[in-house]
Structure 1
Amino acid sequence: MKPISLKHHLRYSFLLLASLTLLPTTESQAQERKEEIRLEVTQKPLSQVFRQLEKSTDYKFMFSHDDVKGLQVTRKVQAGDIETVLKQLLEGLPLTYSIKGKFVYIVPKKGVPAAAEQSKKTVRGQVVDAAGNPLPGVSILVKGTKIGTATDLDGNYSLDMPAEGHTLLFSMIGMKNVEERVGKRTNVNVTMEENAKMMDEVVVTGYQQLKKNAFTGNATVVTKDQLLKTNNKNAIAALQAFEPSFRLKEANLWGSDPNNLPEFTIRGESSIGMNRGLDVESARRSQRTNLADNPNLPIFILDGFEVSVQKIYDMDINRIESMTILKDAAATALYGSRAANGVIVVTTVAPKPGELRVTYNFTGGMEFPDLSDYNLCNAEEMLQVERAAGLFTGDDPGEQILHDIRYNELMNEVRRGVETDWLAQPVRNVFNQTHSMNLSGGVESIRYSVDLNYNTHNGAMKDSYRDVYGVGLTLDYRYNEWLQVMNSVSYTVTRSENSPWGEFSRYTLLKPYYAPYDNDGNLLETLKSSNNIANPLYQVRSLGSYSGRTTLSDLTDNLMINLYFTKEFFFKGSFSVTRTDSNAETYVDPKDPSFASVSSKEKGTLQTTGSTSYTWNVNALFYYNKAIKKHFINATAGLNAQASKGTNTNILYKGFQLSNLHSPAYAADQPDKASVSESEDRLVGLLGAVNYSYDDIYLADFSFRMDGSSKFGRDDRFAPFWSVGLGINIHNYEFLRNNPIINTLRLRGTYGVTGNVSFPSYAAVSTYQTSDDWYTSTPANTLIALGNPALTWEKTGTWDFGITLEMFKRRLSIEANYYRKETTDQLSQLNIRTSSGFETFYTNAGTILNKGYEVKVNVVPYQDKDWTVALNFMMAANKNRITELGQDAAAYNQRVQDFYAGRGENADNEEYADLKFVPLTQYYVGASTTAIYAVPSLGIDPSTGKEMFRKRDGSVTHTWNSADIVVCGDKSPKAQGSFGINIGWKGFYLNTTFLYQWGGQDYNETLLSKVEEADIENSNVDRRVLTQRWQRPGDLAPYYDMKSDVETQPTSRFVQDNDYLSFSSLSIGYDFDQKLVSRLHLSSLGLRINANDLARWSTIREERGTSYPYAKNYSFTLSLGF
């Protein structure tokens, strides 16, 4: 079938919605005429007749069931308007009617006995929240009847009801229900309190909405309000405060770089993946924006469709209604082959009916670079280090004189005040701002919502930025109670650029007595007092180079159609199409010193990359929800299909004559043909799930999905994934029901199998590439990979057990979980005969086991009508272990050892030289995927100043040998989590979050590169060089002599405990009193101050953010509602 283009899909969606928009107008015109109603009933209960009329007309009937109880009618009305029908219908009955708008009120006749004859009265009032803000859309019902109404935009209501003896029930999602006995009052004002547990009561899995108290799966729900009070700039980072098993990886290279997409895991690493080579970029982990090859990332589901990490990263946080982290198989199995690493479901704010509402949020913030982890020498200390290292000591008197002259010249410069703060040169204190606006409204039948947002994120390094512009439109049409059509279109543009100042580590190496200016304040091309080192300030200010200048656009259209056959049985269909375009450029000025020795035709380069991708998603799902006495069934079955197709282009241009003329048209040469690649993959899944509960005590969940993927060969293209879960609500047993101490006691357990397909299709399918070389009259096709048609799916089997306990009116809640997650059939490279034309062949071999526990504790030690004090503590512990490996792991480990020993293909490659001094990842059965490999060290021998190593046989030697490398630590901590305190007083609130970890280790590369292996002659060093290096026999020192020429290779001396406590976030806010807000002609007004990454205490002292520094963030937010 020919695919429908994005252009045509958008056109059809627009026409459909335009026609739907006209429906209410046509309907209202028809209603201006008298409706012709026909009615014929025989011995039918009067209440059912009213419901029949509701379905055939636009009128709503309000009546008390007591008034019509036992009344049956037989009537035949050929044709008439509503009044004609009512007169004939109620003839001879002790009832009468009144019509107000589209509401028909059925009441007893005065003086005539009825089942429950009473007079009427009108009750009015206003409903507000605890801060005095009006609550629109609150449902108000006369308890025991069908009489009800809802509050308007200002929280006001008016309700005709029986005169006395009734109670009003006020209810709203997210708020605690309120019951008010009316008595003789005609004005009833109500204050509703927020129900902090309410959002947790429903778990949104993307395919289902389930009651949490009847769900056996493991999920964490985070609301919009919680996100905003934790990190109002980065929703992904905010999740760490609410789920201890979710943790961002430390970005020690890229720090606070706004263009660095975060890496994160849920419950540890479950896959090794395919990137095992000694690749420079992957070893240094410097790919800031490409997470495509990470086999351990969870997937994101946005309003039912899978999206990229980048889309969530750039998303306006004010659009988010909630984020749900799905962790075990019962919660994720419906995602089948994509769910092994967990699923994060994001739900956006839906449009609500009512008058036009406008909400506007402005956030202004300051970002300050955090350089507290750097401990570099000042100018005088640097000279002291150089002298101690013998740099000013000559071999003969003549040479010594020259060294003395050099030393005195430098010292004079230092005493003259030369003290260049190089760390401050490439960084800045910067102001950022975010604007977010939403306009929404409509009537019950058609609702609309418009979103506008603009976010500027200027980075801590000069001239780096990431700006996001977005607009969205949602139209929601509803016809009676059986049809809903909603279409949402969003367009987002992201513009970003890396800092032209280069990597921050460049400035950490420059000595403080190097001067970038001459005595007259002019920039120098080379640094004064240096050995002709290029002046980076001169380069940045005189060259037109730029790096990673990128424009990314995302156009998405989501169409949803819901058909409600009955209240219990309905269909939800959705279709989404997304087009993403990306264009990036990196330009190096022809005057750059790196081109000094090349011809003019090679001076200056322009690297351009472009990509276009289309993604289609289809969901067709049937739902059945039914309560039968004590049984409740929530069933889902349907189809999910998705496809993606992308094209990438890469072109290099050389030879530019002028700095400011750098378009491809001015290039002298294009040395190679454009590199063009295309990719396409498809996935289809049949799925079904049943959520069952009996008497709200016994719980069960069953789910199944059959996935088929184009990434696999013909032998194993389809695979089943499934889960089963059982639970029991002990608190609903009679002996614990309404217990004043124990409010909730739930036990649950689940098991299921999910999968992972994060690898390229050529691993399973032999793939040809068209060469840019021609053979006679046609281009040649080259087989680039030998596929394995029998390659199968990585599968993860997960056991999960949990207990939930809530006590003392839910002021104490404890949740504990234990899990065991085993991933089998790991993707592995098998060495084959080179006569085949290939060295490797992909197969399935290897198993990884993760097991651990999670604990969450929430306590409300004090609460009254004004004050709320809440404490929270969370902890997760995960143990990762490799239990089986393929033969490729042994071969890879051997290549690592050969590389350390100076053997192998990369041994003499200068790009790899610095990798010989740091631990490279290796894989052994019994160890974890994050283990640190080094040779065990007994420290520096006090008598000789040489290092003592322990060999595998237990003997001691002074010689480092790669054959003695063993596991000396693990980067994964034994425990991690968060804790905090939340305080509320009237309209004020204060929230804090601390993150912590303990029991993990790290390899302190700062001690290696800036202390023991410090290049004292050419770069600045850590101050510990002066105090912690061996100097003479008898010294107890952790590091070699300053004059030693030993090259230190991976040793346990630099493996240190990496325990830390981080003051992650602080939020202080105030929601203004409603009286003041009303005087300002507003519906809401709030102020909030956020601070992130305030402080960090760690057991390891190392430089963090070496390529891009970390930063502290402070912001204030103004929220207005009109």
Structure 2
Amino acid sequence: MRKDHALSENVFNPLYEASLSSFDRVFQRHAIGFARIYKENSGPYGDVTRSRTAGAFFSGNYAFQNKYLLDASVRVDGSSAFGADRRYAPFGSLGIGWNIHKESFFRGANVISQLRLKGSIATLGSISFPAYQSRSIYLYDTQHWYSTGIGATILGYGNSNLEWQKTRTTDVGMDIGLFKDRIVISPRYYYKLTKGLITDINLAPSTGFSTYKDNLGDMSNKGYELYLVAQVFHASDWNINLTGNLAHNVNKIVRISDALKAFNSNIDNFQTNKDNNAFSTPLTRYVEGKSLNTIYAVKSLGIDPENGKEILVKKDGTLTYIWDVKDVQDVGNTTPKAEGFFGSTVSYKRFMLSFSFHYRFGGQAFNQTLIDRVENADPRFNVDSRVLEQRWKQPGDHTFFKNITDLTDTYVSSRFIQKDNLIELQSLYLSYDFKPNAIRRLGLQNLRLAATANDIFRASTIQAERGIYYPFARSLTFSLLGSF
């Protein structure tokens, strides 16, 4: 628990009718933090955070002969988490469906057992942050008492214009069942437009606060998905099922706020300041018309075989050896062409085996390991073997890394961007169910012996050192499950 109590300076009528003074008196009478007697050199503490939501909605659905389907809803919601002028917002959704396989002209089809067309359009809202982060909040300071009572300081920087983050989604798809639904294929296409995307905006330290909440602008997402469920083989002792999906998504910044425009103008200074340790890392820039996953760096043509220096490309197309933040531009994108999973469940008598693969291809990634642990590593100390073996040493060397005697820092460039293709076996499960007759003498109804393994196999176009930023471990677990 926090040591102090957070109290909002605003009220949310009619959702919150208590006045500031009356709530203040009630809190001071009952809050444990205002106890008069407690252990020496210590004190009790507690906190209370109040928020209010209110709304009204209507929803309905209709189906005609199980062929034509309709769902609709309309609602209005309000929340005390938003600015005083933007607390209420309307939302709605509409969905339609057509079961073509129920039509008379479709009867008698042998191969296609199910054919359904569906579509929807909806607007949704989001409250993804605590209420006290978007309003001017006072924090009681129990360490300072004055003649008029306890002291208080401002905890957060309020934004009375903060409004709901709204996402309008348009979705069309179909379900196709083949051979009495032994194979079901579900393709889908969607388009999402998020307006008023809420994020943290940096403030000057002189204001007394580091960030505040604001609507950064609008962002769109569009893409497609494909799902497959198939019963590949079925017999008295055998059963083989296959599942998988394929997805592709592209996002684009449609509009940015004035606050983000100011952020973009300051990001160059932030990257060139070595105290921030950001000179060798691609930083996010918010550019209208560009993807949020865009990689920004200076273009590079690699290492010059004559002198071991990096050849950089300026924005006007000329070549240089000198890195300049003004030449940072769009050089890649981390969005894959497609990604997803596929797996299978195989059962034979009392044995069952299931596994799941994850894959992605067509995207790019900035290999931070190469620049931090090889290029910018000091060869005079304990380093990666590539620092000594794969760096430029003499004229005529064609290498990926710069001159081994050059101990200056390498700044972010496209030289470290690599293709990001991956396939990995994430999980494997094997089990055996004992026969009931064999375990009945033990008073058991069921007994299963199982083994589970994770992260068994991984193949990637990027050789990255794993476990640097998060724990990495392969595990193998055995279990014995029984029921009486």
**TM-score range normalised by the length of the shorter chain:** 0.7 to 0.9
State the distance in 2 between where 1:1036 and 1:832 align. Answer: 46
Question: What residue in structure 1 maps to residue 83 of structure 2?
Answer: 713
- CA–CA separation in structure 1 for the residues paired with 2:282 and 2:144: 41
SS in 1 for 2:106: coil
Instruction: State the match for 2:423 in structure 1.
Output: 1061
Give the counterpart letter for 2:94 in structure 1: V
User: Any residues of structure 2 matched to 1:32-111 within 5 Å, and which?
Assistant: none
**Aligned pair partner of 2:140 in 765, 770, 784:** 770
Partner secondary structure for residue 1119 of structure 1: strand
Instruction: Provide the secondary structure at the position in 2 that maps to 1:1059.
Output: strand
Q: Look up the match of 1:1021.
A: 383
Residue 752 (str. 1) matches residue 122 (str. 2): yes
Cα 1:1038–1:1069 shift into 2, 3 Å: same
Closer, same or farther: CA 964–751 of 1 in aligned 2, 3 Å? same
Say if 2:4 and 2:140, in contact at 8 Å, map to a contact too. no
Tell me: CA distance 1:869–1:827, structure 2 relative to 1, closer, same or farther (3 Å).
closer
2:354 to 988, 991, 1003: 991
> Structure 1 residues 969, 996: closer, same or farther in 2, change over 3 A?
same
Partner of 1:693: 63
**Aligned residue identity for 1:704:** V
Which of 369, 372, 381 is the equivalent residue of 1:1006?
369
* CA–CA separation in structure 1 for the residues paired with 2:269 and 2:45: 34
Q: How does 1:341-490 map to 2 (within 5 A)?
A: none
Taking a change above 3 Å as real, the CA distance of residues 842 and 720 of structure 1, as seen in their structure-2 partners, is: same
Q: How far 1:1025 sits from its partner (Å)?
A: 1.9
Which residue matches 1:825?
A: 196
- Structure 1 residues 945 and 766 mapped into 2: Cα distance closer, same or farther (>3 Å)? same
Structure 2 residue aligned with 1:937: 300
Asked if 1:743 corresponds to 2:113, the answer is yes
**Alignment partners' CA distance in 1, 2:242 and 2:134:** 51
User: Who is 1:594 aligned against?
Assistant: none
2:160 to 773, 786, 789: 789
Paired residues of 2:3 and 2:46 also in contact (CA < 8 A): no
Q: Secondary structure at the match of 2:377?
A: coil
Which structure ranks higher in relative contact order (CA pairs < 8 Å, sequence separation ≥ 6)?
A: 1
The AA in structure 2 aligned to 1:1008 is I
Please give the alpha-carbon distance, in whole angstroms, between the structure 1 residues aligned to 2:377 and 2:296: 22
Q: State whether structure 2 residue 453 is matched by structure 1 residue 1091.
A: yes
| Cα distance between partner residues in 1 of 2:320 and 2:237 | 70
Cα distance change of structure 1 residues 837 and 1011 upon mapping to structure 2, 3 Å threshold: closer
Distance 1:879 1:1026, change over 3 A: same
CA 1:1008–1:677: 2 relative to 1, 3 Å:
farther
Matched-pair contact (CA < 8 Å) for 2:200–2:212: yes
The structure-2 alpha-carbon separation of the partners of 1:860 and 1:832, relative to structure 1 and needing over 3 Å to count, comes to: closer
Aligned counterparts of 2:174 and 2:307: Cα–Cα separation in 1:
59
Which residue of 153, 157, 179 maps to 1:808? 179
How far off its partner does 1:788 sit? 3.1
Using a 3 Å threshold, how does the CA distance of structure 1 residues 831 and 855 change in structure 2: closer, same or farther? closer
Q: How far apart in 2 are the matches of 1:1073 and 1:837?
A: 70
SS in 2 for 1:680: coil
Letter in 2 for 1:850: N
User: What is the alpha-carbon distance in structure 2 between the residues aligned to residue 703 and residue 1101 of structure 1?
Assistant: 50
Q: Does 1:723 align with 2:93?
A: yes
User: Do structure 1's residue 704 and structure 2's residue 83 form an aligned pair?
Assistant: no
- Alpha-carbon shift at residue 1079 of structure 1 (Å): 4.4
- Counterpart amino acid of residue 62 in structure 2: Y
Q: CA deviation at 1:714?
A: 3.3
Q: 8 Å contact 2:216–2:256 — kept in the other structure?
A: yes
The correspondence of residues 560-599 of structure 1 with structure 2, limited to 5 A, is none
Structure 2 equivalent of residue 1048 of structure 1: 410
Change (3 A) 1:989 1:1006: same
* Partner deviation per Cα, 1:902-949 (whole Å, 9 max, x = no partner): 3xxxx5x4xx3x322212222111222222221111111111211111
Unaligned runs of 5+ in 1: 1-581, 583-608, 613-644, 650-663
Q: TM-score, normalised by structure 1?
A: 0.38
2:218 partner letter: T
Q: Structure 1 residues 981 and 919 mapped into 2: Cα distance closer, same or farther (>3 Å)? A: same
Instruction: Tell me the equivalent position of 2:10.
Output: none
The amino acid that maps onto 1:1119 is L
Aligned-pair CA distance for 1:775 = 5.3
Deviation digits for residues 653-696 of structure 1 (CA, Å, limit 9, x no counterpart) = xxxxxxxxxxx99xxx99xx999765332333433432322111
Q: In the superposition, relative to structure 1, how do residues 1072 and 736 fare at CA in structure 2: closer, same or farther (>3 Å)?
A: farther
For 1:833 and 1:1005, locate their aligned partners in 2 and report how far apart those are by CA, in whole Å. Answer: 29
Deviations 1:1043-1100 (A, max 9, x none): 1022111111111122111111111112233333444432222222211111111100
Cα 1:865–1:1108 change in 2 (3 A) is: same
TM-fit CA distance, 1:872: 2.4
Q: For the structure 1 residues 1074 and 1061, does the alpha-carbon distance in structure 2 shift closer, same or farther, using more than 3 Å as the test?
A: same
Query: Separation in 2 of the partners of 1:937 and 1:676?
Result: 56
Distance in 2 between residues matched to 1:1086 and 1:939, nearest whole Å: 58
Q: TM-score, normalised by structure 2?
A: 0.85
Q: Structure 1 residue 1120 and structure 2 residue 482: aligned? A: yes
1:949 to 312, 318, 338: 312
Q: Paired residue for 2:36?
A: none
Inter-partner Cα distance in structure 2 for 1:839 and 1:1113: 41
* d(CA) in 1 for partners of 2:205, 2:455: 53
CA change 1:676–1:1007 in 2 (3 A) is farther
Distance 1:611 1:725, change over 3 A: farther
Moved more, 886-895 or 772-781: 772-781
Deviation sequence 1:87-134 (CA, Å, 0-9, x none):
xxxxxxxxxxxxxxxxxxxxxxxxxxxxxxxxxxxxxxxxxxxxxxxx
Contact 1:762 1:786 in 2 (8 A): no
Report the 3-state secondary structure (helix = DSSP H, G, I; strand = E; otherwise coil) of the residue aligned with 1:945. Answer: coil
The Cα of 1:838 is off from its aligned counterpart by: 7.8
TM-superposed deviation, 1:828: 6.1
Alignment correspondent of 1:679: 49
Rate the CA distance shift 1:835–1:900 in 2: closer, same or farther, 3 A.
closer
The one-letter code of the counterpart of 1:880 is N
Answer yes or no: is the 8 Å Cα contact 2:4–2:46 preserved in 1. Answer: no
Q: Give the CA deviation at 1:758.
A: 1.7
Residue 1010 of structure 1: how far off its partner (Å) = 1.6
Give the AA of the match of 1:788. Answer: N
Q: Between 1054-1063 and 828-837, report the one with greater CA deviation.
A: 828-837
Residues 1064 and 763 of structure 1: is their aligned pair in 2 closer, same or farther, counting only changes over 3 Å?
A: closer
Q: Is the 8 A contact 1:879 1:974 kept in 2?
A: no
Partner of 1:416 in structure 2?
none
Cα separation, 1, equivalents of 2:70 and 2:483: 43
Amino acid at match of 2:51: D
Greater Rg over alpha carbons, structure:
1
Any idea what SS the aligned residue of 1:1017 has? coil
For the Cα contact (< 8 Å) 1:698–1:728, is it kept in 2? Answer: yes
Map residues 1-20 of structure 1 onto 2, 5 A cutoff: none
Matches within 5 A, 1:872-891: 872-891=243-262
Q: Which residue of 2 aligns with 1:898?
A: 269
In 2 relative to 1, CA 816–1011 (structure 1 residues): closer, same or farther, beyond 3 Å? same
Change (3 A) 1:1083 1:1007: same
Q: CA separation in 1, counterparts of 2:445 and 2:315? A: 73
**Would the aligned equivalents of 2:450 and 2:479 in 1 still touch at CA under 8 Å?**
yes
- Structure 2: unaligned runs, 5 residues or longer: 6-26, 34-38
1:299-314 to structure 2, matched below 5 A, reads none
Identity level (%): 38
Number of the residue aligned with 2:22: none
SS in 2 for 1:916: coil
The answer to whether the Cα contact below 8 Å between 1:829 and 1:888 also exists between their aligned partners in 2 is: no
Q: Which amino acid aligns with 1:1089?
A: A
Deviations 1:255-298 (A, max 9, x none): xxxxxxxxxxxxxxxxxxxxxxxxxxxxxxxxxxxxxxxxxxxx
Distance 1:686 1:1071, change over 3 A: farther
How many Å apart are 1:738 and its aligned residue? 5.5
